[in-house]
Structure 1
Amino acid sequence: MFESLGFEPDWFGLLGREVLRERRAALIAEACAWSVGLSDRPHHLRLRGRLVATGSTIGDRAATGQALSGEEDGRLELGDARPGSFQDALNAVDADGAVFADRFDREVIEPFVHETCVLAADRARRTRPGQWAELLDDLGEDGAELGDVVRAGEWEQPLRTDAEHLVLAALGTAPLLEVEAEGLPLSLVRAAEATARAAAAPRPEPEPEDLSGALFLALAAVREAGLPAPVPADDAPRLLAALAEQGLEPDEVAAVLPHLDLAPGTADRVAALLAAA
């Protein structure tokens, strides 16, 4: 059919949709896990342009069948949701006035679709080497990083729409509290994974201390004391006294020693004098 129209179908886009359909159950599970905790959040509405707290939680309203979203916020495609449903919760706003659906897209849909496209790229590389090579040539990519290929091909945006439709078809009309209950086990797993990643992450290197002021005073002290260069170990007491006269604290003295013109053993002698003081 496509050949008769003079063009070929986007085979990778079709492959991405195929992989997404295969991962539908995983997507629904991630959506349920993400929803855990929504019911505990304070409920807000925008009334006449002003964001107000209603005094109840999202869960309280969902349990009694009250609407969670208002008419002044939300997305058109999420409108007319069943009160208290997952779709209704997505269209509600948080304490900052942001629609929960935006956060859901950012935290669930976007990373899931990116991972799906990477899996599709890996499958294409293994099962369709000829088409894969042509695709890389068209995109100007070497294929070393599949994520780069996916971004260059711009397949994610249409697949995000498909993913959103899959989630809404499965969970849209379901009560929020039921969706949360379904997602609780996986949410605990995800929380544990996040804790493990945080514990394994390398600690940032401390900012290097600015020694410019202390070093300026130290050099002035050496110069004004008439000390030879390099300063010999026997002159360590004179050096320490000169640095102290310039107002340097013991920790500053220790910090500037490596930057001064000292003979071997002088820094150790000064450190010993500091320790004995």
Structure 2
Amino acid sequence: MFDIDWMGLLTREVLRERGAALIAETCAWAVGLSDRPHYRRHSGRLAPSGLTVGERAANGQPLGDEEDGRVDLGDARPGSFQDALAMVGPDGRLEAERFDDEVLVPFVAETCRLAGERGRTTRRADWAELADDLGEDPVDVADVVRAGGWEAPLRIDAEHLVLAALGHVPLIEVEAEGLPLSLVRAAEAAARAAVPAPAPEPDDSLAGALFLARAALEDSGCSVPVPPEESDLLLAALGEAGLEPDEVTSVVPHLPVEESTITRIAATLPGGQDGPTDGDRPRSVG
């Protein structure tokens, strides 16, 4: 049995160092809970209670559901953050479970990674021995951390840290504290969503056809990116280059063309929908 206690201790040390960041992320996650409809079970059925979470909290009414709640959250003060974790959402799932998935799991994973990086740097010999015992490459911190299994016990420590700091704090105060960071996180999410998806990688078998297609496009006189109104001109150039219709369909997404041009070309080729008549279709393709 190999000894990995030093790494377990190191993950806890890094968690303590990141405690303030964990509390901040928790507060940001809580923003908006008060505005949601409150749900509870009645005769075994989940239904809205008729109030928002914030209204029940302001009235001093408990938020958690006794039927679904966890034992460790059962002594919560009504309207507190811990009480909010014990309540159920419209899908019947505990907020504590959602908090675990959305905050604790990624935060603890990053904490373990940081601990692994520190261990590899400051305890080179111990890290190499640990990686060897786990059957992993010491260079790959993520694999060593995953094989070590430190995340599960550290999530328990992280949850205890959160509850000790925020458990009895009124939910509305937790939300107010987290509002600035929640706005930052929302902006980051919007920026990620705005990044276009990477273009699909061409199949190696299309290398020859793609070479011909790019050369044909360069000589075609089309605008770049090719607009839909120039799709016939592009089709003619590709046909003159010797590309078959199925090759055209495969290579066009890898050319600098507008999305609507791809759609129009797909409809124009044999088998496409709403394509032009035979008299309108370029004779050089097909």
Partners of 1:167 and 1:177 in 2: how far apart? 16
Partners of 2:126 and 2:55 in 1: how far apart? 54
2:39 pairs with 1:44? yes
- Structure 2 counterpart of 1:126: 121
- Structure 2 counterpart of 1:161: 156
Superposed counterparts of 1:252-267, under 5 Å: 254-256=268-270
Instruction: Tell me the amino acid that sits aligned with residue 189 of structure 1.
Output: V
Rate the CA distance shift 1:174–1:65 in 2: closer, same or farther, 3 A.
same
- Structure 2 counterpart of 1:81: 76
Partners of 2:39 and 2:266 in 1: how far apart? 54
Superposed counterparts of 1:240-259, under 5 Å: 254-256=268-270
- Structure 1 counterpart of 2:187: 192
Rate the CA distance shift 1:171–1:253 in 2: closer, same or farther, 3 A.
closer
- Structure 2 counterpart of 1:138: 133
Contact map agreement 1:254 1:271 (CA 8 A) in 2: no
**Secondary structure at 1:46's aligned position in 2?**
strand
Instruction: Tell me the amino acid that sits aligned with residue 40 of structure 1.
Output: D
Rate the CA distance shift 1:123–1:252 in 2: closer, same or farther, 3 A.
closer
Partners of 1:11 and 1:162 in 2: how far apart? 16
Contact map agreement 1:47 1:72 (CA 8 A) in 2: no
2:282 pairs with 1:271? yes
Partners of 2:95 and 2:125 in 1: how far apart? 43
Instruction: Provide Cα deviations, 1:46-99, integer angstroms capped at 9, x if missing partner.
Output: 122111211110011112211001211111111010000000000000011110
Partners of 1:64 and 1:131 in 2: how far apart? 56
**Secondary structure at 1:88's aligned position in 2?**
helix
Q: CA deviation at 1:254?
A: 4.6
Alignment partner for residue 63 of structure 2, among 49, 65, 68? 68
Q: CA deviation at 1:203?
A: 5.6
Partners of 1:204 and 1:102 in 2: how far apart? 36
**Secondary structure at 2:269's aligned position in 1?**
helix
Rate the CA distance shift 1:12–1:271 in 2: closer, same or farther, 3 A.
same
Contact map agreement 1:16 1:120 (CA 8 A) in 2: yes
Instruction: Tell me the amino acid that sits aligned with residue 71 of structure 2.
Output: L
Partners of 1:59 and 1:80 in 2: how far apart? 19
**Secondary structure at 1:92's aligned position in 2?**
coil
Q: CA deviation at 1:15?
A: 0.2
Identity percentage over the alignment? 64
Contact map agreement 2:2 2:133 (CA 8 A) in 1: no
- Give the total of aligned pairs: 216
Length-normalised TM-score, structure 1? 0.72
Instruction: Provide Cα deviations, 1:183-225, integer angstroms capped at 9, x if missing partner.
Output: 00000011111111111251675xxxxxxxxxxxxxxxxxxxx
Partners of 1:252 and 1:186 in 2: how far apart? 45
2:49 pairs with 1:54? yes
Superposed counterparts of 1:8-47, under 5 Å: 10-47=5-42
Partners of 1:128 and 1:75 in 2: how far apart? 40
Instruction: Tell me the amino acid that sits aligned with residue 7 of structure 2.
Output: F
Q: CA deviation at 1:255?
A: 2.4
Q: Which blocks of at least 5 consecutive residues in structure 1 are unaligned?
A: 1-5, 206-232, 234-249, 258-268
Partners of 2:28 and 2:97 in 1: how far apart? 16
Length-normalised TM-score, structure 2? 0.70
Larger mean CA deviation between 96-105 and 144-153 belongs to 144-153
Name which one, 1 or 2, has greater alpha-carbon Rg.
1
- Structure 2 counterpart of 1:266: none
**Secondary structure at 1:271's aligned position in 2?**
coil
Contact map agreement 2:132 2:138 (CA 8 A) in 1: no
2:163 pairs with 1:149? no
For the aligned residues, what is the CA RMSD?
2.7
**Secondary structure at 2:176's aligned position in 1?**
helix
Contact map agreement 1:113 1:163 (CA 8 A) in 2: yes
Partners of 2:266 and 2:149 in 1: how far apart? 55
